[in-house]
Amino acid sequence: MSEHEAVRLFAELREDATAPTESELRELAHAASSEPWRAVPVERSGAARWAHGPRLAAVAIAVALLLGSGLGFGLASSLTPTGSARPAAGGLGFLPARDWTILQSGALDVDGKASAIAANVALDPRDGLGRAPSATLRSLRANGIVVYVTFGARGDPAVDVAFPARELPLELASATRATSGEYRLRAGVGGYNVDARVYFGQRRPRPQVVDAAEQQLGRLVVASERVTIFARPSVVEAGGYFTLFGSVDNGRANEVVDIERRECGSSSSFFLGVEATRTEDGGSWSTRRSAPRITTSFRAVWNGTASAEVTIRRRAVVGLRRLGPGRFQVSVGGSQFWRKHVLIQRFDRRLGTWKKVRTVVLGRQGTTPGAYGTFTARLPRGTQLRAAMSRAQAGPCYLNGVSATLRT
């Protein structure tokens, strides 16, 4: 297989990205196995550092790995219950190349962030993903190049405005000079905001060094999922709000995106429709919602394709009040907390910590919704008291919760 054929195959697979079989992946990898190469895993989570190797082998195996492995790229599968939607290729980072070291996360994390580093020098062991490779940059040789790219999810209008829509490959000509030897390029590509920084080892790099950086920037892959969803924040208190946001891969405005939810503890595996929203220019969408009553998973559905799920978590709502001299009542919203335990604590000013007073078992109180418990306690006047429910007692559908402080 020639290098041209390998690259063509990758392009075709991106256009028609049905999941390859294991035998197809093995065949493709075997086609390149006659030339030596090696990939050294850096993290089990999927990041990989690619060592030097013949370009044909790297490209061919990259095609297989990009579409079927855990080394930074993979297939984003549809979640629609009908199974009518097709998976789409999803991956963020650089294709491997001779004489370049690459370290990348390959996909957005739960916060909607990802990063990738490409360098024509060895990376300093102190540098890792999620931050600029400052240790490597401090000792960057004259002909050295480091390309550091961060990826974020589109959908927040306040952020997206700083990332003008561009198409791959990105070009240094569009970058601005940030500092001596550093160039920065921001771009909205598909459903992602791409922030690329190119560092040179000298203030005025030679033309061949600039050309090498341009070529590496051209190896940047931004293979979007068809529809994405993210949440901010992911933990919401009672009475609070959160924002769901994401994008669709055609980049068009006025596309209808359906938001669906499934509550924790639901006996059904299906999602229920919540609302429909429309995309803005560039394909981004967002919607603000009030806190759900219980930990709830959301997804976005567009043109029959469902996104991955995001989960908004709720804390147990714990209350504490005085009934009379030395008598107190603790409450937690929801009948699922019957027979659960709540810890009563007092604040120790000397140690600056909360100390256990007693444990209360919750039960029902007539037809009143929620779970309740009463207790008595002889405490000095002015003692700060609170009720706390642990994650083990609140779970699986709530996080731990703490009441407001009550002073005796």
Q: How far apart are CA 267 and CA 269, in angstroms?
A: 7
pLDDT of residue 109: 81
pLDDT of residue 178: 84
Please name the residues in contact with 38: beta carbons below 8 A apart, sequence gap of 6 or more: 51, 53
pLDDT of residue 200: 96
Please name the residues in contact with 125: beta carbons below 8 A apart, sequence gap of 6 or more: none
- pLDDT tier at 15, thresholds 50, 70, 90: very low
Backbone φ and ψ for 9, nearest 5 degrees, come out as: -60, -40
Which position has the higher pLDDT, 211 or 250?
211
pLDDT of residue 238: 87
- Nearest to 49, CA basis, from 101, 5, 7: 101
Q: How far apart are CA 130 and CA 152, in angstroms?
A: 12
pLDDT of residue 315: 94
pLDDT of residue 48: 39
Same domain, 104 and 197: yes
**Within 196-244, where are the H helices?**
207-217
Q: How far apart are CA 285 and CA 386, in angstroms?
A: 41
Q: How far apart are CA 314 and CA 239, in angstroms?
A: 11
- Give the end of a domain, one of 251, 284, 314: 314
Q: How far apart are CA 192 and CA 283, in angstroms?
A: 10
pLDDT of residue 74: 35
- pLDDT at position 340 over 90: yes
pLDDT of residue 320: 97
Pairing of strands 241-247, 230-232: antiparallel
Please answer whether residues 266 and 280 qualify as being in contact, where contact means their C-beta atoms are separated by less than 8 angstroms: no
Same domain, 197 and 122: yes
b/e per residue, 33-70, with b = 16+ CB within 10 A? eeeebebeebeeebbbbbeebebbbbbbbbbbbbbbbe
Sign of CA dihedral 363, 368, 369, 374: negative
Residue with tokens 């993903």: 129
Q: What is the mean pLDDT of residues 49-62?
A: 40
pLDDT of residue 194: 95
Residue 125: how many CB atoms within 10 A of its CB? Answer: 8
Give the structural domain span for 353.
318-407
**Mean pLDDT, the chain, whole residue set:** 80
User: Could you give the maximum distance between any two Cα atoms of the chain, in Å?
Assistant: 86
CATH number at residue 338: 2.60.40
Residue with tokens 């700083």: 162
- pLDDT tier at 49, thresholds 50, 70, 90: very low
pLDDT of residue 225: 81
Same domain, 136 and 244: no
pLDDT of residue 283: 86
Same domain, 54 and 158: yes
pLDDT, one tens digit per residue, over 102-144 is 999 888 887 778 999 999 999 999 998 888 999 999 999 999 9
Q: How far apart are CA 203 and CA 70, in angstroms?
A: 38
- Nearest to 155, CA basis, from 49, 278, 61: 278
pLDDT of residue 6: 46
Same domain, 239 and 219: no
- Nearest to 192, CA basis, from 106, 103, 130, 288: 106
Tokens of 221: 């892959």
Q: Determine what percent of the chain is predicted with pLDDT higher than 70.
A: 78
Same domain, 280 and 399: no
Sign of CA dihedral 312, 298, 189, 78: positive
Same domain, 82 and 137: yes
- pLDDT at position 72 over 80: no
- Nearest to 397, CA basis, from 331, 311, 319: 311
Same domain, 309 and 334: no
- pLDDT at position 63 over 60: no
Same domain, 92 and 167: yes
- pLDDT tier at 282, thresholds 50, 70, 90: confident
Q: How many domains does the chain have?
A: 3
- pLDDT tier at 335, thresholds 50, 70, 90: confident
Q: What is the mean pLDDT of residues 42-55?
A: 38
Same domain, 55 and 136: yes
Measured at the CA of 352, the angle between CA 350 and CA 354, to 5 degrees, comes to 110
- pLDDT tier at 45, thresholds 50, 70, 90: very low
- pLDDT tier at 13, thresholds 50, 70, 90: very low
- pLDDT tier at 331, thresholds 50, 70, 90: very high
pTM above 0.75, yes or no: no
- Give the end of a domain, one of 164, 189, 223: 223
pLDDT of residue 153: 86
Q: How far apart are the first and last CA of the chain?
A: 80
- pLDDT tier at 301, thresholds 50, 70, 90: very high
Q: What is the mean pLDDT of residues 192-221?
A: 94
Same domain, 262 and 214: no
- pLDDT at position 17 over 50: no
pLDDT, one tens digit per residue, over 306-320 is 998 999 999 999 999
- pLDDT at position 3 over 90: no
- Give the end of a domain, one of 281, 299, 314: 314
Q: How far apart are CA 118 and CA 116, in angstroms?
A: 7
Please answer whether residues 2 and 56 qualify as being in contact, where contact means their C-beta atoms are separated by less than 8 angstroms: yes
> Residue 141, Cα to own-chain centre: how many angstroms?
34
Please answer whether residues 283 and 227 qualify as being in contact, where contact means their C-beta atoms are separated by less than 8 angstroms: no
List beta partners, residue 25: none
Q: How far apart are CA 87 and CA 67, in angstroms?
A: 11
Q: What is the mean pLDDT of residues 216-235?
A: 89
- pLDDT at position 91 over 50: yes
pLDDT of residue 20: 43
Same domain, 196 and 259: no
